[in-house]
């Protein structure tokens, strides 16, 4: 299934903040990278993070059905 994704680029000094929004779910993620990075690479990284978070969101939906499947307290961020 193809999803519509909106990318927003916000310069912050020598860096750029890239926000990716999934139009269907409204889920939004951001990454910050050097402004010298290629636009396609910035979009790829933001999209990868968005897909990861969409997967986590789906997993949490499954976890609510069976609380014993959960590992740890959850939440937090992504360790890179």
Residue 77 lies in a domain: no
For the whole model, what pTM was predicted?
A: 0.72
Number of domains in the chain: 1
Polymer length of the chain? 80
What integer best gives the mean pLDDT of the chain? 84
Q: For residues 63 and 13, which has the higher predicted lDDT (pLDDT)? A: 13
User: In which band, very low, low, confident or very high, does the pLDDT at 60 lie, cut at 50, 70 and 90?
Assistant: confident
- The residue range of the domain holding 55 is 5-64
- Please report which residue ranges of 2-78 form alpha helices under DSSP H: 39-65
Distance CA 11, CA 5 (A): 20
Residue 69 lies in a domain: no
Residue 59 lies in a domain: yes
> Over the stretch 8-44, which tens digit does the pLDDT of each residue have?
999 999 999 999 999 999 999 999 999 999 999 999 9
């Amino acid at each position: 299934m193809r999803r519509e994704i909106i990318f927003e680029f916000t310069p912050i000094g020598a860096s750029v903040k890239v926000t990716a929004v999934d139009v269907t779910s409204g889920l939004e993620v951001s990454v910050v990278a050097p402004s010298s990075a290629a636009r396609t690479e910035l979009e790829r990284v933001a999209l990868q993070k968005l897909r990861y978070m969409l997967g986590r969101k789906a997993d949490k939906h499954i976890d609510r059905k069976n609380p014993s499947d959960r590992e740890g307290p959850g939440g937090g961020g992504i360790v890179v």
